[in-house]
Amino acid sequence: MNDPHPRSTRERLLDAAERLFAEHGFAATSLRTVTVTAGANVAAVNYHFGSKEGLLRAVVDRAMTSVNGERLRLLEELRASDRKPTVEQLVRAFVVTGASIVERSGTHGRDVARLLGRVMVEPDPAIRRLFGAEVAPVEGQYLQALQTALPQLPPNEVAFRYRAMVGLLALYQSDTLGDLHPGHRTEGDIATTQETERLVTMLTAAFRAPAAAT
């Protein structure tokens, strides 16, 4: 019979790991589950990625690269305009990226979003640092743009709210916001864009709030 897996073993491993890590988390996903799903051998993981953590690193890196690129592209677009970017524009550019990734690449894209949301809330400090290193380049740019749009807000206040935005988006992307109580998940893209808009509305208002009195 023909090869049922046209993609290379390395790519199939990345795809399978991306989906399974997003679904069950890193610790609860065994390498054997990954390799069986990918139609590969257990040893292939250590051959291509060195270790289980190396596989995670590669998965996160691949997913993060596209997201980071999209975020920076949108930010550059806003800056190229003649007006200074508003808070809402900045928030929307940041939040919509997740949804756009989903829509662009279908099921695979949803896994990417869920994976990144999941990795951020992983307990293992090493994994958290991995995620932090990946978002660092984008963070600097957005913090600066947000600070410019909110000159009356102290920098640490802006940073706190930025982290809240990242975190809330991560929860949304990992479906943690929706299915605490099962039974009202719409699963459609209509709800996706609506909820994205809800997030933008909430976060924009949160950013615009005056600094809390100390």
Nearer to a copy of itself, 6 or 181 (CB): 181
For 139, counting Cβ atoms within 10 Å of its Cβ (0-12 exposed, 13-18 middle, 19+ buried), the class is middle
31 binds, among DNA, a copy of itself, none (CB under 5 to 8 A by kind): DNA
Binding mask 159-178 for a copy of itself (x = CB under 8 A): -xx-xx-xxx--x--x-xxx
Counting contacts by CB under 7 A, is residue 169 touching DNA? no
| Closest C-alpha to 71, from 155, 13, 140, 154 | 140
Angle subtended at Cα 164 by Cα 155 and Cα 74, rounded to the nearest 5 degrees: 80
198 binds, among DNA, a copy of itself, none (CB under 5 to 8 A by kind): a copy of itself
Query: Which residues 124-163 are close enough to bind a copy of itself by CB under 8 A?
Result: 124-125, 128-129, 131-132, 135-136, 157, 160-161, 163
Q: Answer yes or no: are the C-beta atoms of 119 and 60 closer than 8 Å.
A: yes
E strands along 56-214, which residues?
A: none
Q: Answer yes or no: are the C-beta atoms of 162 and 151 closer than 8 Å.
A: no
Instruction: Name the DSSP letter for residue 213.
Output: P
102 binds, among DNA, a copy of itself, none (CB under 5 to 8 A by kind): none
Angle subtended at Cα 17 by Cα 129 and Cα 192, rounded to the nearest 5 degrees: 85
**Distance (Å) of CA 158 to CA 6, 115, 140:** 47, 26, 12
204 binds, among DNA, a copy of itself, none (CB under 5 to 8 A by kind): a copy of itself
Binding mask 26-45 for a copy of itself (x = CB under 8 A): -xx-----------------
CA–CA gap between residue 209 and residue 192 (Å, rounded): 26
Binding mask 32-71 for DNA (x = CB under 7 A): xx------xxxxxxxxx--xxx------------------
Instruction: Name the DSSP letter for residue 209.
Output: S
CB 184, min distance to a copy of itself, A: 9
CB 5, min distance to a copy of itself, A: 26
CA–CA gap between residue 214 and residue 146 (Å, rounded): 22
- Which chain residues interact with DNA by CB under 7 A? 8-10, 29-33, 40-48, 51-53
Binding site residues, a copy of itself, CB under 8 A: 23-25, 27-28, 118, 120-125, 128-129, 131-132, 135-136, 157, 160-161, 163-164, 166-168, 171, 174, 176-182, 194-195, 197-206, 208-214
